[in-house]
Amino acid sequence: MTRFVPLQGGCHCGDVRYEIRAEPDMAGYCHCGICRKLTGAPAMVWAHVPIGSFAYVAGEPSVYRSSEAGERRFCPRCGAQLEFRRQDNPQAVEVLVGTLDDPARVPPRVHIYVESRIPWFDPKDDLPRLPKGF
């Protein structure tokens, strides 16, 4: 078994940096309307990691409560969204894969909220597609 090499990432301007010290236990596309509005993209790719393996190593993010489900953290300078924390699962954090220094290390494995998918955005892959979240 190979030893996990920590993942690092951060915002666009570099003021806020983080590290993940454990393998993400899931990663996928989210097609919900909130993720679309907050990223400006047709879907967001996230990685689910245990909160104990995630730490900010530079800067301090701002917090925005985006819905009853949870809150998002982002850079107060450049505005890059870094992560999402669910109200019903405080033991985990969902990091935006695009903010990783090496996003190729965390490929998506599922599509969630496909009932909200924009019809013209349909990645041609064989990943499972769930109408809602988990």
Q: What pLDDT digit, counting tens, does each position of 25-64 carry?
A: 999 999 999 999 999 999 999 999 999 999 999 999 999 9
**Alpha-carbon span 134 to 122, nearest angstrom:** 20
**CB-based contacts of 3: which residues, under 8 Å, 6+ apart?**
none
Which structural domains are found in the chain, ordered by start? 7-116 (2.170.150.70)
- Band (134; pLDDT cuts 50, 70, 90): confident
Tokens of 8: 């690092």
Whole-number pLDDT of residue 133: 86
**DSSP per residue, 19-69:** EE-S--SEEEEE--HHHHHHHTSSSEEEEEEEGGGEEEEES--EEEEEETT
- Band (95; pLDDT cuts 50, 70, 90): very high
Does the global pTM surpass 0.85?
yes
